[in-house]
Amino acid sequence: MSGRGRAVVFAVVAAALAAVLGAGFAGLPSFGTSTHPYGDAAVHAALALRHTANAVGSVTFDQRGLDTLGEEFILLSAVLGATLLLRPERGERPARWEVDQAPSLPAVARGTALVLLALTFLLAISVVLHGHLTPGGGFQGGVIAASSLHLLYVGGGPSVLSRFRPEGAYDLLEAAGAAAYVVVGLGGLVASGAFLANDVPHGSTGAALSAGTVPLLNIAVGLEVGAGVVLLLSRFLRQEELTAAASR
C-alpha cells in the first residue's frame, strides 16, 4: 500500500478497533470496585492456608505456579535465542580488550561503582530471599543481581566485567535455576500426587521460614533470571565488540 493508502486503511481500522475496545470497556465494572472474588480467595489462600505474607508471591509461585514455569522458560528460551541470533558469523572476530580500553573514569567514580555493586548485590539477595514476605521475589531480585554485576562494566570496563563473567558458569547457574523449578514441581508430584504442590511445612506467616515451597521457587527463579539476564547482556555486549572490531 502507498503511504496515503495505508493511512486511510489504518484510520478505518483504528476506528473499528476503537469501537470494539469501547464496547468492551463500557462493560467493565467501575474503577476501584470492591468486587474481586478471585483476589479475595487468593488472599485467603495465601494467608490462611499457606502462611505467605506476600499474596502476590503466593499467587505467582504457589497458586499459579504453572504460569511462572512457562514464564521462566520463556526467559531461558530468550537467552538461547539471543545466543543464536547474536552469534559471531564467519569472518567475525571479537576484539581483544586491552587494559587501556577501560573507560577513563576518575578513581572516585570507579570506587563508588564498586561500593554500589556490593550494596546492590546484597539488596538483590535480600529481595530474592524475602520474596514470600515483602514485595519482590525471584524475578525482581534476579534482575537487580544482574544489574549489580554490570556496575563492573561502568566502574572497571568490559575487560574487568568479562573476568567475572565466565559464561560456562553462568550457563550452568541459569540451567540449574530452571531445572530446580521443574524438580520442585516433580517433587510435589511424587510427594502429593500434584505437580507443583506446596506440601512442605508452611511455618507461620511473616517468619523467614514460611510459605513452604515459595522461597525455594523464588531462589530457583532468582538464580535463573540473574544468570539469564547476565548472559543476555553478554551476547549484546559481544555483538558490540564484534561491530567495533569490524569498523576498525
Partner 1 sequence: MNATDLLLLPVAVPLLAAAIVAGVGRLLPRILLDAVVLVVALGVASLGALLLVATRRHDVATVAGGWGAVHGHPVGIDVVADPMTAGLICLDGLVLAIALAYTWHYFDDVDAVLHGLLLAFVGGLAGFALAGDLFTLFVMLELVSVIGFVLTGYRIEAERSLQGALAFAVASTIGGVLTLTGIALVYARTGQLALASIGRSLAEQPADGLVAASFALVLAGFLVKAATVPFHFWTAGAEMVAPTPVCILFSALLVTSGVYAVGRIYHVAYQQALPGADVRPVLLAFGAASALVGALMSLGQRHFKRMLAFSTIAHSGILLVGVGLLNRDGAAGAVTYAVGHAGAKGALFCVGGVLLSRFKSVDENDLHGRGRRLAATGVAAALGALALAGAPPFGTGLGKALTEDAADSAGEQWLVPVLVLASGLTGAAVLRFTIRCFLGWGRPVDSGGVPGRRGEEPEPDPAGRLLVSAWLLLGLSLLAGLAGTGWAAHVGSSYVDSGAYTRALWGGPAPPAVAMHLTGWHATGLPLAFAPALLACAIAALWLLPGIGTATRAVTLSVLRPLRAMHTGRLGDETTWLLAGTGAFGIAMLLLRA
Partner 2 sequence: MSALAYGASAVVLLAGLCGVVFSRDLLHLVVCLSITQSSTYVLLLAVGYRSGATAPVFSDHPKGPVVDPVVQALALTDVVVGATVFALLLALVIQAAKRADGDVDPDALSDLHG
Q: Given the rule CB under 8 A, which residues bind partner 2?
A: 6-7, 10, 14, 17-18, 21-22, 25, 28, 30-34, 36, 38-39, 42-43, 46-47, 53-56, 58-60, 64, 67-68, 71, 74-75, 77-78, 81-82, 85-86, 133-135, 139, 205-206, 232, 235-236, 239, 243
168 binds partner 1 (CB under 8 A): yes
- Angle among Cα 154, 155, 160 to the nearest 5 degrees reads 95
Binding mask 173-212 for partner 1 (x = CB under 8 A): -xxx-xx--xx-xx-xx--xxxxxxxx-------------
Q: 152: which residues sit within 8 A by CB, 6+ positions away?
A: 113, 114, 117, 160, 161, 164
Residues 200 and 91: their CA atoms lie apart, in Å, by 54
Interface region with partner 1, contact rule CB under 8 A, candidates 10-18, 127-135, 139-147, 152-160:
10-18
Q: Provide, rounded to whole angstroms, the least separation between the CB of residue 227 and partner 2.
A: 14
If contact means CB under 5 to 8 A according to the sort of partner, which of partner 2, partner 1, none does residue 239 touch?
partner 2
Residues of span 65-104 touching partner 1 by CB under 8 A = 65-67, 69-71, 73-74, 76-81, 83-85, 87, 89-90
| CA separation, residue 132 to residues 104, 125, 195, 200, 209 (Å) | 42, 13, 20, 14, 9
CB 137 within 8 A of CB 60: yes
Binding mask 40-59 for partner 1 (x = CB under 8 A): xxx-xx---x----------
- Helix (H), strand (E) at residue 113: helix 107-129
Based on C-alpha coordinates, what's the Rg of the chain? 23
10 binds partner 1 (CB under 8 A): yes
The total of other beta-carbon atoms located within 10 Å of residue 69's CB is: 20
If contact means CB under 5 to 8 A according to the sort of partner, which of partner 2, partner 1, none does residue 201 touch?
none
**Which of 183, 208 has the CB closer to partner 2?**
208
Could you give the maximum distance between any two Cα atoms of the chain, in Å? Answer: 65
**Which of 66, 109 has the CB closer to partner 1?**
66
Interface residue with partner 1 among 26, 99, 107, 108 (CB under 8 A) is 26
The one-letter amino acid code at 99 reads: V
109 binds partner 1 (CB under 8 A): no
- Write down the residue that cell numbers 575487560 correspond to: 159
Interface residue with partner 1 among 37, 100, 104, 201 (CB under 8 A) is 37
Burial class of 170 by CB neighbour count within 10 A (0 to 12, 13 to 18, 19+): buried
